């Protein structure tokens, strides 16, 4: 068993942090470690919280954290949104509010670096979630800004996705067009003390009427983070969705698709690591890359043929 | 020569549109077509315009288009931002303003679908840019919303990136933390008739003092799209950056890195296509994916070994 996995089993929080760093760096030992970590699976509930910058995701998560802790459950928070105070760099006020959580051993907070491009971020986030699960957290919350494609991909690796919207923000049109409505398992109308809540709710209901979800129908919850309103109902609905995933056929199908996607991603990454290394170690190939007029499509085709040809 | 390439050479706009669709669908013929397209390269200037939603990117591009056309240059616009009016789906007012361009044969407008995840979007955008270049457009403008990782990757495939910022929007902090400042070749302060321009400019100057760019120092341009102000200066600076890329050593180095990245991406994509197919056609492998408790890391490791082992 990998040394870090062993220490994580003993709830060593420094090992947990180091394992995530190893994942971020795409270390050679990663697959081996992750296989051990997978065997320590404890079925934590993986929850994603997404929404535009300014929708109040961080404040909401802050309140939700406190509520979940009051039920005596432990929580890990993984912040993928670089503008989140959970990522450690935002406004002082936010950070002060977060400090209470940093002192609580039932809470682990970690931000993921965005350097791993090309889908690598969604991949390492999933691995980091699994490590938190293996450690024994009951809930793993992932915060991301739901705008780009990689951010969308991250939402595909969690069990339950909450989409945070605010009244009168004009978010819905953008979110709808970016294909983000479809990934929501729970709609969260935050700042629900502002005018325009009724209109936003009607828009969401209209959307649900048009798409006619098959299986799980995303509920619409109103929250006011500043007033700490709506957390019990939000938590209840998220749990109901988790039960749906494990107790119904449609839920099973969703999980199977997630698994397939994950295996595909892992293999792609591994093979790519190997191929890249073989190019980097080939002086002749590297010198071809120095020609500014070289046809990249031709190079790719011939190197690819070479690689595949090895197996024929 | 590929039939579509031949027709594109004859400036058949329908062939241009079809070639981009073929790219989006990741068609089998893609590499072959793109190799032909590459041989038709005419060195158009590839320009990316990025910035938060609401920064006024589309209006700015609209004005820039008109200005570039007044110099008798032809322009292709590729919209990757799903909320852009160039993508065809935004507010009526915007669309009306765009209509003049749709009638102009010196302008081609196309939006890219975001279905190709995992870096595929940046990849197909680069290919689409190349097709527009081969067709003979003098300038190819790419509009994207600079928030997520894939959007950042897109900016790595163009020659010159303009980052659109607005005074008092609070954008800068978010953009800085998301690592987007670094990719800007030209800073564009749009809506420069609003208060707060001086402060934003000072922030950018401070940023430039800290990072001390080596080689190209990004200029700061003020524009007011609604008043059609700043276009000549913006265009001049973008051309200066293009000259820098082709006339200096530092520029050459940047282009070489782009080429390397591109070849790597292409090979990764091709190999992955092959591997995925081999899994999909393997009944035994597919049935393993039906087990909800299977260890994805183990599967990935053993299938990867099998694949690499073929070549030993």
Q: Provide the CB-side half-sphere exposure for B129 (13 A, CA).
A: 25
Domain presence at residue A253: no
Do B51 and B27 share a structural domain?
Answer: no
* Section A216-231 average pLDDT: 94
Question: Three-state SS for B292?
Answer: coil
Phi, psi (degrees; rounded to nearest 5) at A84: -80, 140
Distance from CA of A66 to the nearest CA of B (A): 26
Which is higher by pLDDT, B169 or A62? A62
For residue A176, what are the contacts with CB-CB under 8 A and spacing of at least 6?
A207
Phi, psi (degrees; rounded to nearest 5) at A188: -115, 110
Distance from CA of A268 to the nearest CA of B (A): 6
Q: DSSP code of B55?
A: S
Q: Return the pLDDT at A33.
A: 93
Judge: B82–A34 Cβ closer than 8 Å, yes or no.
no
**Cβ-nearest to B151 among A121, A148, A177:** A148
Q: Return the pLDDT at B119.
A: 52
Q: Return the pLDDT at A312.
A: 42
- The total of other beta-carbon atoms located within 10 Å of residue A190's CB is 28
Instruction: Number of A to B CB contacts under 8 A, please give it.
Output: 192
Q: DSSP code of A44?
A: P
Contact in structure between B91 and B85 (CB atoms under 8 Å) = yes
Q: Tell me the two tokens of residue B298.
A: 């183990």
Residue B32's pLDDT band, with cuts at 50, 70 and 90, is confident
Q: Return the pLDDT at B7.
A: 97
Distance from CA of A16 to the nearest CA of B (A): 18
| Neighboring chain B residues of A153 at a CB cutoff of 8 Å | 117-118
Judge: A119–B118 Cβ closer than 8 Å, yes or no.
yes
Which of A18-27, A66-75, B166-175 shows the lowest per-residue confidence on average (mean pLDDT)?
Answer: B166-175
Do A113 and A185 share a structural domain?
Answer: yes
Residue A273's pLDDT band, with cuts at 50, 70 and 90, is confident
Q: Return the pLDDT at B312.
A: 42
Do B203 and B270 share a structural domain?
Answer: no
Q: Return the pLDDT at B252.
A: 82
pLDDT tens-digit series, residues B93-108: 444 555 567 678 899 9
Do B278 and B130 share a structural domain?
Answer: no
Contact in structure between A112 and A121 (CB atoms under 8 Å) = yes
* Section A267-293 average pLDDT: 81
Domain presence at residue B256: no
Does the pLDDT of residue B236 top 90, yes or no?
Answer: yes
Domain presence at residue B75: yes
Q: Return the pLDDT at B258.
A: 82
Provide the strand spans (E) within B38-131.
Answer: 45-51, 75-79, 107-111
If 0-12 CB within 10 Å is exposed, 13-18 middle and 19+ buried, where does residue B197 land?
middle
Q: Return the pLDDT at B150.
A: 63
Q: Return the pLDDT at B311.
A: 47
**Cβ-nearest to B89 among A122, A177, A267:** A177
Which is higher by pLDDT, B179 or B192? B192
Distance from CA of A209 to the nearest CA of B (A): 21
| Neighboring chain A residues of B151 at a CB cutoff of 8 Å | 148-149
Does the pLDDT of residue A79 top 50, yes or no?
Answer: yes
Q: Return the pLDDT at B193.
A: 92
Residue B310's pLDDT band, with cuts at 50, 70 and 90, is low
Residue B81's pLDDT band, with cuts at 50, 70 and 90, is low
Q: Return the pLDDT at B8.
A: 96
Share of chain A residues as helix, strand and coil, in percent rounded to the nearest 5: 55, 10, 30
User: Minimal CA–CA distance to B294: which of B283, B302, B305?
Assistant: B302
Do B196 and B92 share a structural domain?
Answer: yes
pLDDT tens-digit series, residues A44-64: 999 999 887 778 888 899 999
Judge: A266–B38 Cβ closer than 8 Å, yes or no.
no
Does the pLDDT of residue A172 top 90, yes or no?
Answer: no
Domain presence at residue B253: no
Do B153 and B216 share a structural domain?
Answer: yes
Judge: B263–A289 Cβ closer than 8 Å, yes or no.
yes
Residue B91's pLDDT band, with cuts at 50, 70 and 90, is very low
Contact in structure between B98 and B61 (CB atoms under 8 Å) = no
Domain presence at residue A295: yes
CATH of the domain at B143: 3.40.50.300
Does the pLDDT of residue B135 top 90, yes or no?
Answer: yes
* Section A117-125 average pLDDT: 68
Does the pLDDT of residue A152 top 60, yes or no?
Answer: yes
Does the pLDDT of residue B191 top 80, yes or no?
Answer: yes
Which of A88-92, A285-289, B98-102 shows the lowest per-residue confidence on average (mean pLDDT)?
Answer: A88-92
* Section B43-58 average pLDDT: 87
**Cβ-nearest to A301 among B31, B289, B299:** B31
Do A197 and A56 share a structural domain?
Answer: yes
Which is higher by pLDDT, A46 or B250? A46
Q: Return the pLDDT at A110.
A: 86
Question: Three-state SS for A222?
Answer: strand
**Cβ-nearest to A267 among B152, B265, B303:** B303
| Neighboring chain B residues of A262 at a CB cutoff of 8 Å | 296
**Which letter, b or e, does each residue of A222-231 get, where b requires 16 or more Cβ atoms within 10 Å of its Cβ?**
bbbbeeebbb
Do A185 and A55 share a structural domain?
Answer: yes
Which residue, B214, B247, B280, sits at the end of a domain? B247
CA distance A233 to A125: 27
Task: Report the DSSP beta bridge partners of residue B47.
Answer: B141, B160
* Section A164-171 average pLDDT: 83
Residue A175's pLDDT band, with cuts at 50, 70 and 90, is confident
* Section B159-177 average pLDDT: 82
Strand order in the sheet with A186-189: A107-111, A75-79, A139-145, A45-51, A160-165, A186-189, A220-222
Q: Return the pLDDT at B116.
A: 44
| Neighboring chain B residues of A159 at a CB cutoff of 8 Å | none
**Cβ-nearest to B263 among A259, A299, A310:** A299
Residue A8's pLDDT band, with cuts at 50, 70 and 90, is very high
SS3 letters across A264-294: HHHHHHHHHHHHHHHHHCCHHHHHHCCCCCC
Task: Report the DSSP beta bridge partners of residue A111.
Answer: A79
Residue A92's pLDDT band, with cuts at 50, 70 and 90, is very low
Domain presence at residue B255: no
| Neighboring chain B residues of A39 at a CB cutoff of 8 Å | 295
Domain presence at residue B288: yes
DSSP run (H or E) holding B28: none
Nearest CA in chain A to B156: A117
Does the pLDDT of residue A311 top 80, yes or no?
Answer: no
Do B27 and B49 share a structural domain?
Answer: no
Q: Return the pLDDT at A220.
A: 97
Do A143 and A103 share a structural domain?
Answer: yes
Q: What is the ipTM of this complex?
A: 0.72
For residue B263, what are the contacts with CB-CB under 8 A and spacing of at least 6?
A289, A296, A299, A300, A303
Report the mean per-residue pLDDT for chain A. 83
Does the pLDDT of residue B54 top 80, yes or no?
Answer: no
| Neighboring chain A residues of B310 at a CB cutoff of 8 Å | 310-311
Which of A67-76, A116-125, B139-148 shows the lowest per-residue confidence on average (mean pLDDT)?
Answer: A116-125
Q: Tell me the two tokens of residue A68.
A: 């979940």
Distance from CA of B311 to the nearest CA of A (A): 5
Judge: A270–B304 Cβ closer than 8 Å, yes or no.
yes
Which is higher by pLDDT, B136 or A312? B136
CA distance B300 to B272: 13
Does the pLDDT of residue B215 top 50, yes or no?
Answer: yes
Distance from CA of A180 to the nearest CA of B (A): 11
Q: Tell me the two tokens of residue B125.
A: 């955008």
Domain presence at residue A152: yes
Residue B110's pLDDT band, with cuts at 50, 70 and 90, is confident
Can you give the residue range of the structural domain that contains A277? 261-309
Do B214 and B94 share a structural domain?
Answer: yes
Do A237 and A107 share a structural domain?
Answer: yes
Q: Return the pLDDT at A3.
A: 95
Q: How many domains does chain B have?
A: 3
* Section B257-278 average pLDDT: 80
Q: Return the pLDDT at B98.
A: 58
């Amino acid at each position: 068993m990998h040394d870090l996995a062993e220490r994580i089993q003993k709830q060593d929080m420094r090992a947990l942090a180091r394992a995530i760093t190893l994942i971020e760096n795409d270390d050679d030992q990663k697959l081996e470690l992750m296989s051990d970590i997978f065997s320590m699976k404890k079925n934590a509930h993986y929850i994603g919280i997404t929404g535009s910058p300014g929708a109040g995701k961080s404040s909401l998560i802050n309140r939700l954290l406190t509520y979940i802790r009051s039920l005596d459950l432990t929580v890990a928070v993984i912040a993928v949104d670089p503008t989140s105070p959970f990522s450690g760099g935002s406004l002082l006020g936010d950070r002060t509010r977060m400090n209470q959580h940093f002192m609580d051993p039932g809470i682990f907070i970690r931000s993921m670096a965005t350097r791993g491009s090309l889908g690598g971020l969604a991949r390492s986030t999933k691995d980091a979630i699994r490590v938190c699960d293996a450690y024994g957290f009951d809930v793993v919350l992932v915060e991301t800004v739901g705008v780009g494609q990689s951010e969308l991909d991250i939402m595909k690796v969690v069990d339950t996705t909450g989409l945070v919207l605010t009244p009168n923000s004009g978010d819905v049109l953008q979110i709808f067009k970016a294909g983000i409505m479809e990934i929501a398992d729970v709609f969260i109308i935050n700042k629900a003390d502002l005018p325009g809540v009724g209109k936003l709710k009607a828009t969401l209901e209209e959307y649900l009427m048009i798409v006619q979800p098959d299986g799980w129908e995303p509920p619409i919850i109103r929250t006011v983070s500043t007033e700490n309103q709506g957390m019990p109902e939000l938590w209840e609905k998220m749990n109901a969705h988790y039960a749906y995933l494990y107790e119904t056929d449609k839920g099973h199908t969703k999980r199977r698709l997630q698994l397939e996607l994950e295996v595909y991603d892992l293999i792609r990454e591994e093979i790519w690591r190997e191929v890249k290394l073989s190019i980097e170690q080939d002086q002749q190939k590297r010198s071809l890359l120095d020609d500014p007029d070289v046809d990249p499509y031709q190079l790719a085709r011939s190197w690819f043929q070479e690689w595949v040809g090895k197996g024929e």
